[in-house]
Structures are given as C-alpha cells and as structure tokens.
Structure 1
Amino acid sequence: MQTITTITELRHALAESRKTDRCVGFVPTMGYLHDGHLALLRESRIRCHVTVASIFVNPTQFGPTEDLSTYPRDFLRDETLCSAAGVDILFTPDAGEIYPAHFTTFVEPGELARPLCGAFRPGQFRGVATVVCKLFNIMQPDFAFFGQKDFQQCAVVRSMSADLDFPIEIVTVPTVREPDGLAMSSRNKYLTSDERKRALAISRALFTAEAAFRAGEREAKRLTDTARRHLTELDQLQYLELVDPDSLEPATSPLGRRTVLCVAAYIGSTRLIDNVILT
C-alpha cells in the first residue's frame, strides 16, 4: 500500500491505472475506521482493480461549536487497517493541501441539503459537497462508496455527481451494526457505558417501525409514533421523519413502495444518526 499526502503524488500514482484502463474505486473517510468503513473497502475490492481510500477530517463540514478539534483520530491504526483490507493507495492530505491559501470556491448542494441534518447543521452539506467534488476531480474514480447510515449525505453526493456530470457510479453500502443493533460510527467512541446502553433506543425504535411496516402498516403517523415510543431515553431528539428516498420530502400516507425513516438524536453530548429503508 502506498500512503500519499499530496495531490501531485496521487495523480502520478494513478496515471498507470489510467493507461491500462484499470477500474478505480474510491472510499472517502474521516478516519477512526470501524467495520462500516471496512465494508466499503471490501465492496471496492470486489468491484475494482484499484482501491483508493482517503482519510481527511474535513473542516468545512463542521460548525463553529462542533467537534472538529476533538474528532477521534488514530492514524497509525487506520493505516494498519487499510493495509490489511487491501487498499492500494491511502491518501492523507492535510487541510492546506485541500484548501490552499485564498481558497474561495464552494459547491452549493441545493434542496436535498435543507431538511433533516441540514436543518440542524447549516453548512454541513456545503462542506461535504465541496470536499467530495474536489476529491472526485483529483482521483477521477470509476466508483465511489458511501455508507447508508449517512443517507442524506449519499443523496447529496449522488445528486451533485449527476448535476456536475461526474462519470462515477455512486454505490451505497448497507449500514454495518454492532451485534446489539447500534449503527457503527466513529462518534460512538464518545459514549460512556450508560450512554452506550441508552443509545440502543435509536435502532430499537427504527426496527420496531420496520416490523410494523412489514406487518402491513402504511400510515406515516402511526409508524413514527410507534418508533417515538422507544426514544424516551434520549437526551434530545432532533428529528424522526419518514421521507421519500429520492427527494427527502416528507412521505405521505399511505406509504409507497420505498420510504426511509431517519433519526438524529443526542445521547449526552454525542450526536448520532441512523435510518432504515422501508420497502
């Protein structure tokens, strides 16, 4: 595995793949890797000849009061995991490499960035769209892999990629969970033992609503009420919404063939998100 820190080096390393038409897969991460990230890497290895992973804690998607400075980092561990997972190139730029002095251009993602997390974290998806756009331009991969847990992020990236004519297939990989159901997240590290137990209310609520849907329930309010009853242990529920998977607009009853139930909540000072696709 090559570990590369500059754009020039990365483009040079990928030049040979371009000459021989080898398929390139890309997995963007902010590091502190877990099994969810490794699932993305495995999917890239299955589909592509060359797998590139990036580790970059993107400052433009954090608000002024958010956890940029304390976001968990363990580069040596991440590098070891990437190597063991068969990554061919690990790209680890610093902020100055991605956002050089006098950087002024940003990507505005539009309506998909406004609901759900966008309503509570203004500017987050502007930062996501900008950094992903830059990384796509730098690497020009054939495939890019994202996790379903960040459902809104996947929708924003897919829309941006289509709107800006990137010839890249965006692949969404199902959420990887702990054995007890908690969605894997780098931020789970922040949870105390008690908070970790209480966080299970999130997946429990989603799974209960999913079971009701499979049993035939199609009324949106009854499904969200079913889920909400399991969320009393949370310190703050930001949203619990049934949305259309393409537009992210609120779903209407009776529900159609495919709907997404999304949730964001605080356990202590830790913000967690999760979702299930009802289909």
Structure 2
Amino acid sequence: MKLRIGFGFGGSAHPDDTGLFGRLVDDLESLGYDSLWVSERANGLTLDPIVAMSYAAGRTERLKFGPAVMVLPGRNPVLCAKAIASLDLVSGGRALPAFGLGIADAAEHQAFGVARGDRAAWFDEALPLMRRLWDASEEVVDHDGPRFTLSGVRVQPKPVQQPIDVWLGGFAPSELRRCGRLGDGWLPSFTTPAAVSVGIDTIRQEAATHGRSIDPGHFGALVPFVHRSLPDRFVARLRDRQPDLDPAETVATGVTGLADRLTSFVDAGATKFVVFPLDEPDDWQGTINAVADECLHLQT
C-alpha cells in the first residue's frame, strides 16, 4: 500500500492572500506533497472549494486536490456532479472528492438550507445519484426519489477517473456505517490511532454486509498540528466535541510530533493523510517546508 501525505488549509488557519495561496500551491507541488485539501465554510473566510481546487489545478501538473470536506446536503446533485466531473477532466484525473454532512453550526445549516435532522437522508440519496451521473457506462439517468426526480438527465463530459473514488469522514457509529455502505475511502479528523483501528474494522464489516469492499489503501486521517502549545480556545472546542478525550491526543505538537503521530496512525492501518495547522502559522511557506523535511520521507 502506498503511503501518501497531503497538506490542508483548515477552517481556522488559511492563507488570506491570493498571491500567497498561489505560492503555497506551487510549493506543495515542488516539494512532493501528494495533495492539497481545502475546507468549506459557507460563513467563514475560506475560499469556495471548487474555485480553490480549480485554481490549484491550473497551476500544477501533478498535485491532486480535494475538499476537506464538501458539504453535500443542500447541493443540487446534478450540478455538483457536473462540477466535480469537469474538474477531474481538466486536471487529468486529479480530483479527490470528499463529502460530509456539514459541521454542527446553525449558521452553516442556514446557508445550505437543510435542517440538521434532514441532512443524512439528503446525503444518502444524493451520493448514489451522483455516482450514476459520473458512470461512463450510464448514458442517461432516471431517478424518482424523496428529494430528487430526474428523467433522461446526463452529466457530460464524464470524469477521467472511472470510477471516481469518494472519500467520507466522521467517526460516529452512523458515519462509519455510512462510509462502509457508500464510501470508497475514510478520512476522519481529530481522532486517535486507536479509534482509527476500530473504525477501519467497523467500516470493513459494514461494507461486507452490503456486498462491498474498501481498498485497504483507502483508510487515512486528517491530522491537525500546532507549532507550540495548543491554544486555550481550541482546547475548549475539542473538549466540547469529545469530553472523554485529552485534546493533546488528537492534535500533534511541532513537526517532529506530527511525524511521530503519523507513524502511529500507520501502525493502526492508515496510509493516506492530510496534515493541517490548527493555528495560523507565522510563516506559511516555512511551515510547509518544515513539514516536508520532517514527514515526506514517510511517503512510499
């Protein structure tokens, strides 16, 4: 299995200058990172993920890119499938679509127009529909479901990747089951190697019950890190999210600590990683270079 490391710009740490963003994309390509990942926050300062990934595609020849993660509930599945297919085509097959339900934030729910309790059902109908729209063997798609009705709809041109793998996140029991049922890969965030090991087993078992299997090389993690100590504001948020877990167990400290954390995840069975700074670096390019020096030798 190939071990790959990508770099992510999260919801709380992101370059706020378009010129800087372009230089960072260039650095990720030249330093040998596998991929670039961008967060989605409709109410935040992050770039729109399709726009950011398209910009990166036009500047690079090798670097893959994905959203970490793109919110699916509230999006028209035909238009979303069209955008991803187009992006995959113009980039020569470098798109890594990753979808989720969205964060637990009232403003985000309002922005996407889907009540929190309706998100899972929307997701479960939309994603299989998008797969059919991407499939080169299915010329036109008919669908009659609770939320979407289509007759003779097609997405053209099709994505280069056939099939195009879809990555899902989360580590709640329902999210693990959804990944086993609908996903091709798993990228949870703010988690531990022990939890990843358990999650992999759960996803594999769920996939088997639906007559599916997940590629053994498609299990990974989004791994946050801080340069020094974890800021108090993040400690409070992480404790609210996982009260029984020490925040230090989910956030690495320093690039050496990040490399050690990645090694622990590898021992747990993960091979695909997105590392991202939780706090805003003083020097973005220096941070990307430091992580490359300390971690990219792990890639195989």
Given the two structures, how large is their TM-score scaled by the length of structure 2? 0.29
Given the two structures, how large is their TM-score scaled by the length of structure 1? 0.31
